[in-house]
Amino acid sequence: MTTATTGTSPAALYPRYLHCLAEADEPAAVEVARELLDAGVPADRVLLDLVAPAQAEVGERWARNEWSVAQEHAATHVSERVVASIAAYANPRGDRGRIVVACMDGEWHALPARLVAEVLRLRGWQVTFLGASVPAAHLVSYLHRHDAYAVALACALPMRLPQAHRMIEACQRSDVPVVVGGRGFGADGRWARRLGVAWAPDGPTAADLLGDERVLRAVAPADLAHLADDEYAGLVGRRGELIDSALADLAQRIPGFGDYTPAQLDSTVSDLGYILDFLAAALYVDDGSLFTEFVDWLVTVLASRGVPAAAVGATLRHYAGVLHDFPRAGAYVRAGGASLPAAGRRHSQSPEA
């Protein structure tokens, strides 16, 4: 095998690869990856230094409203085909134990998990990739029928943490070690530690963890005593009612609300629900920073679509008012409002808003 040169490094070919994604040009994207492989770049470096950062940029372009959902999906499909091509080129023959890789129930961002699955294969593991949104019961049923050494679970969105915990517990009850990864567990894995599970920031680290079962199992138990206050369960139980009340509040505040198209109304309902889902996840792990980080991200995304921060501030103020019997939730919502840009913060705190 030849030695890779600077001109054929993932960094050098990244702009070309990103252009292929922008054009949804699958053959050209595969050609870029094959060029790197033929030049001697290890398959795992092509996956981690080319495909992974390009896919992250795809998500950022959607967030900045530069790409539509359709463009994002087309680019993701191209990257999935590139990953398959890299796997076929490397064609690893695993002789280590079987690792089952899956995404959390409700988690549809499957490409990061697929990248981890392929890195594990390259490290000699036999891998079964179950794909996106695997229900906990189906995962456990699969584990009962197949002899798995361990399970690797991916979660991209923190709002899925309660579901993630149920899946983690189901695997642990089956006496199958678990390692988790993805942005949903926090940049430093702090919410994985709260849920009592081993965490890896990337595929190579996951492979190292899986190679030491003692370390994999030596994690502190979940620390969720705060759930005894029933705030999480209460918020989840009132989700529909809270969305309805927020819609009614918006109808009073926004003169043209009654003229919203069905698509605009659906987007508004989704955003109101996401706010509650992230708030519920923050309650579940007892960390208000989870909600504040979400509010910062939401404001950025909505601003790129012409929605001012003041609109988010008004909704946070409404939720803070109706959640007066939820001390932790109310504190998190107020902290989220305090993180808004000045105009939006004044709107969220003003009694007349």
Ordered mean pLDDT values, 10 residues apiece, the chain (353 residues): 64 98 98 97 97 97 96 97 97 91 93 97 96 94 92 96 95 94 96 96 94 88 96 98 95 86 92 97 98 96 90 94 96 96 54 34
User: Do 241 and 345 sit in the same domain of this protein?
Assistant: yes
Give the burial string for 302-318 (b: 16+ CB within 10 Å, else e): bbeeebebbbbbbbbbb
Q: Are 285 and 161 in contact (CB under 8 A)?
A: yes
Q: In the listed set 191, 223, 255, which residue is the last one of a domain according to the structure?
A: 223
Q: How far apart are CA 190 and CA 231, in angstroms?
A: 21
Shared domain for 87 and 97, answered yes or no, is: no
Q: Are residues 120 and 53 in the same domain?
A: no
Q: Residues in the chain, how many?
A: 353
In the DSSP assignment, the letter for residue 82 is: H
Sequence-separated (6 or more) residues with CB below 8 Å from residue 270: none
271 neighbors 246 (Cβ within 8 angstroms): no
Q: Dig out the tokens for 205 from the structure.
A: 């680290």
* Shared-domain flag, residues 156 and 114: yes
64 lies in the same domain as 125: no
CATH of the domain at 73: 1.10.1240.10
Measured distance CA(353)–CA(321) in Å, rounded: 12
Residues 188 and 233 in one domain: no
- Specify the amino acid at residue 333: V
When divided into structural domains, the chain yields a total of 3
Print the domain residue range for 121: 93-223
- Domain final position from 74, 91, 108: 91
124 and 191 share a domain?
yes
Residues sharing a CB contact under 8 Å with residue 58, sequence separation 6 or more, in sequence order? 21, 67, 72, 75, 76, 79
Q: Does one domain contain both 81 and 98? A: no
Which of 202, 223, 244 is the last residue before a domain boundary? Answer: 223
pLDDT at 344: 52
